[in-house]
Amino acid sequence: MKTRSMEETICRRLYLMGLLSLVLAVAMCVFVFHRAFTMQAWRALENESSIVAAQYSYDPKGLNALDLNNVRVTLISPAGEVLYESTEADEQEQMENHLSRPEVQQAFAGGSGQDIRDSATTGYETYYYAVLLPDGNVLRTSQDAETIWSLYNAALPAILVSCFVIMGIAALLAGFLTRRLVQPMLQMAEDLDHIQENVPYRELVPFADAIYSDRSMRESNEKMRQEFTANVSHELKTPLTSISGYAEMIETGLARPEDVASFGQKIHSEASRMLRLVNDIIQLSHLDASGSTHDSPSMEPVDLSVIAKECAERLMVNARRSYVTLSCRGESVQVMGSPSLLEELCQNLCDNAIRYNRPGGRVLLETGCTKEGHPYLSVQDNGIGIPKEAQSSVFERFYRVDKSRSKATGGTGLGLAIVKQIARIHKARIRLESEVNAGTTVTITFEAIH
């Protein structure tokens, strides 16, 4: 789709608004002037009728002596017969009965009446005003006037010239005002780093905030990618160096026969560590891409208590090997989620709780609902705990509170990062409570199923 110019769009709309305003103003003026003209014509006829009626009451035979100023006077009997006509008219008009005329009927019924009719002359209309006289006759005065359309046609050249002049001025003003309006917005793009400080209009504040937030997020993501790449390289370099060194010693014959098995075990251990790291990286990559529609996991009702019990059964051997007691309790609660992802989330939390515990420690998995009715899954341990200054960073990728302990126990530093991404996909909230040498509790609170 072709991108439209905002300047041209605003200018065109301002011009159309000016044209529409001009048309409406002309129509309103024509209406107002016609109404004023009509009222003036009725008042003039009413005054003329009063004068003629007074003269008739004083001297019924003196109507011919009046100076009527192009006003036509007709005297009509109660039977509709024309008793007097001030202008020369054809015989049919003079002899025609006027009792059916609207203004005459109104005068006989209410004392006065009025009507407007098109005259035989094109472009004219006749105003009729009738009044009931004391002797029972009706005195009618009438006057021809140009119709509003004939007046409009006469003034049309002047109106057209005025419209062209006004629209020309409107076009110039629309272009000038549009440039003045758009220029500050164009200047905003010259310094995106300080766009929030150069907002010319209040309505653009949300737009500027969105651009600034987007740029900040992009820069932050770029920094995270760089750090992630550096961390991955570092994490892979260490086991690869170890594997390469042991393999080289075996290949060159420097390793004693009795050490080959030990070197093979170390190579296998380092390779397993690399495999876990690669699997976690792949898992994170899939979770990062899950924001798009085609990568979104399918959601279904899942019982958190079932997830917790199955997780406890899978990790029971690891817990016993570390001399840690693993237990599970809580009520059955359902959430909308992906069973496989929720299993991964629970397993990573439990694995961390076991890994960073001490011999004789305990780990408790609990499920239930909050007072507000939100389902939750919590993993509680009484292990080494997390210092307060590190609690805000433990969900970052490759962050380790105790690096030596993590590597010794086979941790990749990505477990809690995976937990964070899975919680984001399920629109769940994470709460971390920890105290050094007292233990850690991680609670995942989900949205209730409506």
Q: Which two tokens stand for residue 64?
A: 């011919």
Whether the model pTM is above 0.85? no
> What pLDDT is stored for residue 365 in this prediction?
94
> What pLDDT is stored for residue 346 in this prediction?
92
Within 59-86, residue ranges assigned H as helices are none
> What pLDDT is stored for residue 91 in this prediction?
43
Q: Which two tokens stand for residue 179?
A: 């440039």
* Dist. CA 332–CA 382, nearest whole Å: 25
- Please, which pLDDT band fits residue 150 given cuts at 50, 70 and 90? low
Least confident of 261-265, 274-278, 323-327, 344-348: 274-278
**Nearest residue to 284 (alpha-carbon basis) of 411, 76, 106, 425:** 425
Mean pLDDT of 80-93: 67
How many Cβ atoms are within 10 Å of 415's Cβ, its own excluded?
A: 22
pLDDT(118) > 90: no
- Please, which pLDDT band fits residue 92 given cuts at 50, 70 and 90? very low
> What pLDDT is stored for residue 408 in this prediction?
53
**Nearest residue to 167 (alpha-carbon basis) of 7, 8, 9, 14:** 14
Mean pLDDT of 336-365: 90
Q: Which residue has the tokens 């009729």?
A: 128
CB neighbour burial string for 396-408, b if at least 16 within 10 angstroms, e if fewer: bbbbbbeeeebbe
Q: Which two tokens stand for residue 205?
A: 């504040």
* Dist. CA 250–CA 236, nearest whole Å: 21
Percent of the chain with pLDDT strictly greater than 90? 15
- pLDDT tens-digit map of 124-138: 778 888 998 888 888
> What pLDDT is stored for residue 293 in this prediction?
47
pLDDT(265) > 90: no
Q: In this structure, are residues 379 and 350 in contact, taking their beta carbons and an 8 Å threshold?
A: yes
* Dist. CA 254–CA 248, nearest whole Å: 8
pLDDT(172) > 50: yes
The per-residue pLDDT of the chain, averaged, comes to 80
Least confident of 23-27, 131-135, 151-155, 379-383: 151-155
> What pLDDT is stored for residue 153 in this prediction?
62
> What pLDDT is stored for residue 37 in this prediction?
75
pLDDT(107) > 80: yes
Mean pLDDT of 420-440: 90
> What pLDDT is stored for residue 61 in this prediction?
67
> What pLDDT is stored for residue 176 in this prediction?
81
pLDDT(316) > 70: yes
Percent of the chain with pLDDT strictly greater than 70? 84
> What pLDDT is stored for residue 345 in this prediction?
92
* Dist. CA 117–CA 86, nearest whole Å: 19
- Please, which pLDDT band fits residue 232 given cuts at 50, 70 and 90? confident
- pLDDT tens-digit map of 369-415: 998 889 999 999 998 888 888 888 888 877 766 655 555 555 667 88
- pLDDT tens-digit map of 286-300: 777 665 545 667 888
- pLDDT tens-digit map of 431-449: 999 988 889 999 999 998 7
Give strand ranges (E) for 90-165. Answer: 112-118, 124-132, 138-146
Q: In this structure, are residues 380 and 313 in contact, taking their beta carbons and an 8 Å threshold?
A: no
> What pLDDT is stored for residue 411 in this prediction?
62
